Amino acid sequence: MIRHMIATAAMLAALAASTHNAAAQDTFPSKPVTILVPAAAGGPSDTVARLVGQAMSANLGQQVLIENKGGAGGSLGTGQVAKAAPDGYTLLLYHIGVSTFAALYPALPYKPSELTSVGLVTEVPMTLVGRSDLKANTIAELLALMKQPGTSLTIGTAGVGAVSHLCAQMLEQATGAKLTKVPYPGSGPAMTDLIGKRIDLMCDQTTNTTNQIKAGEIKAFGVTTPKRIAILPDVPTVDESGLKGFEITAWHAVWAPKGTPEAVRVRLSQALQVALKDPVVIERFAALGTVPVEPTEATPAALDTHFKAETARLEALLKTAN
């Protein structure tokens, strides 16, 4: 009798969960969805979010709003999403930096496990760039300048743990030179100061550097991918310029708060996959030097696997950097 009652209760619970998921999928979304970008407006993550959000909006049948909240290398805005209601109406779009938060901030008021995956978006190449009047035009000349006695070059970052900071850290480790890192609330303000010649260098995504490079407002030293990229064919890779194995890209992804119904996550992932096949998104991404991921990567499972591997790699980098 007791076993029968337990089995019946379990069956009813499973049925209720299934019904709840089905209902959530049928009714979601019934109001606008907000994508929070934990960086300043005008930066690379903001650019990606606005392109993807607009395309997702068409598929979801509801407006997708973009909210910017920079600070602490992106960890503040990320925490806001982690603590948001798990209903699918508050999402996070950010990059590789999310993989560093646990290692960088032991006292975080949240854990990365409080986020649940929706899917990968794109893997953006990085560019090492400098102010237009910097007395170096190649990686070799830049390295020589960095190592000159009494020289202390400044490099702008979007804060500790941001991809621009990780790239700067990798540059220090690869060259043995010391750089003065200048943190900003996002890549947009850092780029403004680079153009204005108030800092010397940046290592940032093509989404934030391509137009300025082509306009001659800043100079490009190298891209951080294994091969040259089509949008900047004349810019060599950092690897081919002498820093062997120097590779980092800024992958972007979408997360939701932990506890978001599975049916809602599936619906969001489906909308993301459709958005990444939108001709306008593909064209705009290409103009920024990147491409959308394949639909099979714009899924919760693919992001889970990728995030785990990147977290292990970057924790090792940060440990070496102390």
- 104: pLDDT confidence band, cut at 50, 70 and 90? confident
Q: Are residues 150 and 212 in the same domain?
A: yes
For residue 51, the surrounding DSSP H or E stretch is: helix 44-60
Inter-residue long-range contacts of 220-223, CB under 8 Å, 24+ positions, other chains counted: 220/127, 220/128, 220/129, 221/127, 221/128, 221/129, 221/130, 221/136, 221/138, 221/139, 221/142, 222/127, 222/128, 222/139, 223/125, 223/126, 223/127, 223/128
Q: Which residues contact 113 (CB under 8 A, 6 or more apart)?
A: 258
* Residue 76 CA, distance from chain mean position: 15
Could you tell me the pTM of the whole model?
0.77
- Domain assignment present for residue 180? The answer is yes
Query: What's the pLDDT tens digit per position in 5-51?
Result: 445 554 555 454 444 444 455 689 999 999 999 988 888 789 999 99
Concatenating the DSSP letter of every residue in 107-154 gives: T-SS-GGGEEEEEEEEEEEEEEEEETT-S--SHHHHHHHHTSTT---E
Beta-bridged to residue 249, according to DSSP, are 125
pLDDT in tens, 189-234: 999 999 999 999 999 988 889 999 999 999 999 999 999 998 999 9
- Shared domain for 115 and 131, answered yes or no, is no
CB 131 within 8 A of CB 197: yes
Rounded distance between C-alpha atoms, residue 243 and residue 285, angstroms: 28
Residue 73 is part of a domain; what is its CATH number? Answer: 3.40.190.150
229 assigned to some structural domain: no
Q: Residues 219, 130: one domain?
A: yes
Asked if 169 and 209 sit in the same domain, the reply is yes
Asked whether residue 119 falls in the same domain as residue 134, the answer is no
pLDDT reported for residue 112: 84
Examine the domain organization and report whether 85 and 131 are in the same domain: no
Residue 232 lies in a domain: no
Q: Are 275 and 281 contacting, i.e. CB atoms less than 8 angstroms apart?
A: yes
* Residues sharing a CB contact under 8 Å with residue 308, sequence separation 6 or more, in sequence order: none
pLDDT digits (tens, 9 = 90+) for 147-175: 898 888 999 998 877 789 889 999 998 99
Among 176, 208, 223, where does a domain finish? 223
**Domain count across the chain:** 2
Give the residue among 97, 7, 106 at the shortest CA–CA distance from 44.
97
Position 22 scores a pLDDT of 47
CA distance 131 to 190: 11
CB contact set of 110 (below 8 Å; sequence gap of 6+): 78, 79, 82, 83
Is 279 part of any domain? yes
pLDDT at position 40 is: 82
Range of the domain at 162: 125-223
Pairwise CA distance, residues 129 & 202, whole Å: 5
In a domain, 7, yes or no: no
End-to-end CA, the chain: 61
Which token pair is 278? 């939108």
